[in-house]
Structure 1
């Protein structure tokens, strides 16, 4: 907790809010993000924490929105999936936006990379309500790093950054295929896994650095003080049939962002195939606003206006990324959202690429079917 807050001007934040910090948060305390970044920090800081019984799921989102209408928070920290859901509701509900931004002085996300489009949509509402943008930073780490190892603690308008190591941490970057794999050593890193020597040995390198499984790159190689940017999960890297490496995490974020809110998430497919194709998950609330009707998802994924918006956005993406390693050839829109109960969504709200593909193998097969009757929820770009 002290490592995280040591890089922030706490007195300035308290001065801006006119008193102790206030948060309303749903992140579970059984996970290190909710326990240490939220609960422990607010206890140590002396702020007020309201327990949000809602969550960014279709069943629990109404409760989250009701709570955020009742509690005017001074800061809000959550996972990208929650920010994505909140962005749509802030655009739609003026009362929610008024209460949410009334006292807010800083925002943050962690657990996964967040698209630039979500940031821009949130800031557009913030400017309408307050007349100015509000700082939105990022924290980075893992359960094994308790959880934060680095963060962006300066004014920033670019998403996907992980910032600089917190005091007490040392980072090491190791070549891995065409990228740089990140490893960390510090007082906040676990010494190992309980009664599992084999896993402990596998998790650390010969110098005692914990292997996070993520790739990173410098925002500016000539100015390392500007920090690091997330460059995908090494486990999610795969090769196309021609041997070209694909960074699924990077393609996912860029493609979803290109649709401007129409897609809430995507699974990047293409292992041993000739091109990249997506299983796309529509943002139901956003798409209902787009078409001007409260249609069920089965109709939304076939609606011409939804197809036009997604196709236009991905056309721009493809023009900017013409190489086969990033260009999207097709999107198959899904009639069911990814489910946490079956492992498609992780605790951090991040979509599990391999698990989702395995559970939806029939959809992947349709995605790569080039002959015969093609479904009307398939977009060919």
Structure 2
């Protein structure tokens, strides 16, 4: 019998109560504070949630009310979400870097009555918006630094609410148990807002049953052990963080670890050495860039050693993937490489002890995927959707493959419809979009099948292959298939390319807009004595255009001729979520970008040598300005630069 079917563990707070009873002194959560890891035992964890929940009750928070958390990953923000759920309320995490308009929309749409903010920065943001949030009653803050002179009647400290809850418990000793017992598996636990790639974010209602069933299914096919360390660093508003830091951690008794701040994640990762990690492609691409940059900065001897063992590892990984045996010389070389290169690289990345690592949220380029696999990192693909409680399919250790996302997790059904769209049915399918019944009917069929919006198929081994978003898959003018994400991932393997947007649907060739990686291209320019003052200045350098042209040619060498990038343009600014060009999870909003850069697309296919671009830039406080410029368009039609570079 699954946990979701047991009456005493039907909700996430009930799982927390179980963990506190079974392992009261075991580490439930840690946080890095002022350079020191602080541990909350499962009992401490439970007590904090209980006291804060009862404190919320004294503030009038009850069943069906919504509580939003905003800030970096902090134990108190997780405690607050579970406290709201204990009372029958709903947690609504929001992205901490959201601009004002995004926050107002989500908080109003969700009817949030309590905001729990990490620090002064987030409190200031909430206070500046309170007149536009009619449902808001309280703003609770965790870090009190800088807030001593604030006297707004809405403000309460986290500790004061928790202390109020302790006093309430002394006067009403039975309330906690009674509220806990009222919780049901099908109660809504959280509303996770989608990234909004095609429009306004939608509020995905996930029940306790959704989250617990998903965690249990994942545990059936992965090597997860009680007490495993998990790094909680992903945005709390992303459903993947909730699935692991709350769902998985509570079901399997994992220890969630919160880094000190976003800037120290890599250092904290090395200190912690987690047993497992989930990261979106952007993180893996950044890690690869760091490794490549350090290799380039090393002495000539070290560069040659690294290059030799990297090539050996990737060659052996391809042979293993093809089921071919390694020669004695290759096995010896890998053993030497483990001592000289592979082990030290894993240690630098903080992954020496990781038994499994997953990439998810968007496709990861096969070249990046194979690099980490070849260096001894058990990187695997996971596929999911917010509406599916984060998980649909994942890869087993022995079935890692850059071209698939593995098999569907247990307990769910997946099929491909006549249009090639992936559909699924199971206990992980959400309860509907909050206040959007028509959108729910469009997404879930009358028979209960969830439309993912992704195009895919099953290969001969029964593994699910995702091609692209169904709406993004198109055809070139000659009828050849055009999947932009596949081409973009090839391009982003380069450490000098941060983002790429490919065009080609119903066109005669593929073109791409490129956003350079400021750090790596800047370092490259400085070594060559190229002076620059800004991102725009650097991207306009002819030498940088030639560099990116060579990188595109390398990517073209691995693509069929018809899918090779023939023309490209270097953007004069990074693609930003604040400018609606990307989602908060770093997915390109293709429709918006195509409209915003229509002049670039017209120039690409009209044969122009440049494009006049006017873009609107949005600041965090909502102010806007425009940027006018003329940007050169470059051609890249041959594989020869790639061969010369190789």
TM-score by length of 2: 0.49
Change (3 A) 1:242 1:307: same
Alignment partners' CA distance in 2, 1:312 and 1:92: 17
Alignment partners' CA distance in 1, 2:473 and 2:384: 20
Change (3 A) 1:291 1:316: same
Instruction: Give the alignment partner of residue 466 of structure 2, picking from 230, 242, 252.
Output: 230
| 1:359 Cα deviation after fit | 2.6
Partner of 1:301: 539
Question: Matches of residues 1-381 of structure 1 in structure 2 within 5 Å?
Answer: 1-11=215-225, 20-52=227-259, 54=261, 62-92=263-293, 97-98=347-348, 100-123=350-373, 127=375, 133-156=376-399, 158-176=401-419, 180-218=420-458, 220-221=459-460, 223-224=461-462, 227-241=463-477, 245-257=481-493, 260-291=494-525, 293=527, 296-303=534-541, 306-324=544-562, 326-371=563-608, 378-381=633-636
SS of the residue corresponding to residue 351 of structure 1 reads coil
SS of the residue corresponding to residue 398 of structure 2 reads coil
In 1, are the aligned partners of 2:277 and 2:356 still within 8 Å (CA)?
A: yes
**Structure 1, 370-379 or 36-45: larger mean CA deviation:** 370-379
Alignment partners' CA distance in 2, 1:159 and 1:302: 35
Alignment partners' CA distance in 2, 1:297 and 1:38: 36
**Structure 1, 80-89 or 184-193: larger mean CA deviation:** 80-89
Change (3 A) 1:170 1:347: farther
SS of the residue corresponding to residue 77 of structure 1 reads strand
| 1:323 Cα deviation after fit | 4.8
Alignment partners' CA distance in 2, 1:103 and 1:214: 34
Alignment partners' CA distance in 1, 2:404 and 2:258: 28
Change (3 A) 1:327 1:229: same
**Structure 1, 76-85 or 232-241: larger mean CA deviation:** 232-241
In 2, are the aligned partners of 1:69 and 1:100 still within 8 Å (CA)?
A: yes
**Structure 1, 63-72 or 341-350: larger mean CA deviation:** 63-72
Alignment partners' CA distance in 1, 2:432 and 2:360: 23
| Residues 20-45 of structure 1, C-alpha deviations (whole Å, 9 max, x = no match) | 32222322233321111333212332
SS of the residue corresponding to residue 240 of structure 2 reads helix
| 1:232 Cα deviation after fit | 0.8
In 1, are the aligned partners of 2:399 and 2:406 still within 8 Å (CA)?
A: no
**Structure 1, 365-374 or 245-254: larger mean CA deviation:** 365-374
Change (3 A) 1:276 1:53: farther
Larger Rg: 2
| Bigger share in helix | 2
| 1:299 Cα deviation after fit | 4.5
| 1:169 Cα deviation after fit | 0.7
**Structure 1, 90-99 or 163-172: larger mean CA deviation:** 90-99
Q: Give 5+ residue unaligned stretches, structure 2.
A: 1-214, 295-343, 612-629, 637-646
SS of the residue corresponding to residue 433 of structure 2 reads coil
Q: Give 5+ residue unaligned stretches, structure 1.
A: 15-19, 56-61, 128-132
SS of the residue corresponding to residue 583 of structure 2 reads coil
SS of the residue corresponding to residue 344 of structure 1 reads coil
Change (3 A) 1:181 1:372: closer
How many correspondences in the alignment?
Answer: 351
Partner of 1:59: none
